[in-house]
Chain A
């Protein structure tokens, strides 16, 4: 374990949370974009809650729900041997809930932005919803996908309150960069805080830069 371990944990966390969220977010965004169900606003409101709520509120409830003393936590532990409190898996799950709107909203907007006739033309050519999704919709919403991935990744890097509550700052396991910086500052260890903060600033800047370059190339091509 080195001084940079928290950075690596942060990156690992953001990577897994984003990857799994992309798989969850695409079908969810598809449903939200095209469903005529009356309870769509309800689902949209639930997905958007993490934008409004303080992360500590989410953390508090997740802690209660997932703790081995609760019904669900106990069941997960017994059945699958999964523990989500004070573990890396718990951080990934909490981050997914926390960043869900940042994945779903851009994807949903991307889908809505595709003219209806593209989807309908594909269906009238005899193609299934699945084929239409992968061959017609996804390739024509690449900027939205890139935006969703970046926002989710960046948002996960930046979380603090939620990971502190659900992860408990265990060195080498759940102590992410944002928590490490906070603790270093509290210990008046400014040079260590500088190193971690500086790395985060540079890293975040380059991630965003790459995204904007990709998006402007795409825009120029189409």
Chain B
């Protein structure tokens, strides 16, 4: 279990705002964090990785403390065992793919780990190429492969699909899910386009005005989501309340002789059931 509580004052498109992150990541789960650009998504990842300092915060990973500003504890990024896929991939132009993997390998590991990852990521034939001789999708896979060599406690992905076309995007999601399961990773993925990932993620969070809102949590025993009332209509003797959010829309009926206090724009918490297509 990874517990994250972070606070930092940021400058966004609409001026200064407080970024308040409070969330838990279950071991082995995949969490998607989405939000508009400038919402603080990348900063959140960087703070978790230790590349940016929060103004205040705590990060607990299993029993280890990565960060505790109250107790003045801070684990160096080198020691956090975080795998990160940067938005621009951050590949080393001077190294071939195999050299990337060897560079990432820790002393206790052996070359067989590399072969297995290259095979899963379908990079086996490209080992002697440098990043400059690879397509965007291949570079992305190298970045992902390099990030998981050390079997990270947490895999962070920053907008991994932003520069890829739909076909390659689908393929990458496929690879991502495969390594996520095979290497039992705990993954936090940041994106502005969450739609491809609905149903694949265990948890979907939205970063809105500096705060995290939980949209879907398949790891929780109670399945619920927060929706917004979009319309209220009278149909016969019933009041029909229409609601929606990014993933769900629906209606609920209310008998008019009961008093109601629904207003358009109100937020409701509703229970949901996962339904699979028959």
Contact = CB atoms under 8 A, between A and B. Distances in A.
A123 B77 contact: yes
Contact of B84 (A121, A126, A127, A136): A121
B104 A125 contact: yes
Interface stretch (A15-23, A65-73, A112-120, A206-214): A112-120
A126 B106 contact: yes
Interface in A106-165: 115, 117-118, 120-128, 135-136, 139-140
A222 interface: yes
Interface residues of A, number: 17
Contacts of B104: 125
Does more than half of chain A's interface fall in helix, strand or loop, or is it mixed? helix
Interface string A20-37: 000000000000000000
Contacts of B80: 124
Interface string A24-56: 000000000000000000000000000000000
A140 B91 CA distance: 11
A126 B86 contact: no
Nearest to A126: B78
A115 B131 CA distance: 14
B265 interface: no
Most chain B beta carbons < 10 A, residue from A122, A124, A139, A222: A124
Nearest to A129: B78
Contacts of B51: 120, 123-124
Most chain B beta carbons < 10 A, residue from A115, A126, A136: A126
B92 A136 contact: yes
A72 B271 CA distance: 81
Contacts of A125: 103-104, 146, 149-150
A117 B90 contact: yes
A125 B86 CA distance: 13
Contact of B150 (A115, A120, A121, A126): A126
B78 A121 contact: no
B276 interface: no
Most chain A beta carbons < 10 A, residue from B84, B88, B94, B146: B94
A191 to B, nearest CB: 50
Contacts of A136: 92, 94
B93 A121 contact: no
B49 interface: yes
Contacts of A135: 103
B92 A124 contact: no
B94 A124 contact: no
Most chain B beta carbons < 10 A, residue from A117, A121, A140, A222: A121
A117 B88 contact: yes
B83 interface: yes
B138 to A, nearest CB: 17
Contacts of A122: 92, 103
A118 B106 contact: no
B242 interface: no
A118 B150 contact: no
A117 B106 contact: no
A140 B150 contact: no
A135 B100 CA distance: 11
Contacts of B4: none
Contacts of A117: 86-90
Contacts of A140: 92-94
A122 B86 CA distance: 12
Nearest to A142: B94
Interface string B77-118: 111111110111111111000000001101000000000000
5 contacts: A122-B92, A122-B103, A123-B51, A124-B78, A124-B82
Given A115-B90, A117-B89, A120-B84, 11 more contacts: A117-B88, A122-B103, A124-B51, A124-B80, A124-B82, A124-B84, A125-B104, A125-B149, A126-B150, A139-B94, A140-B93
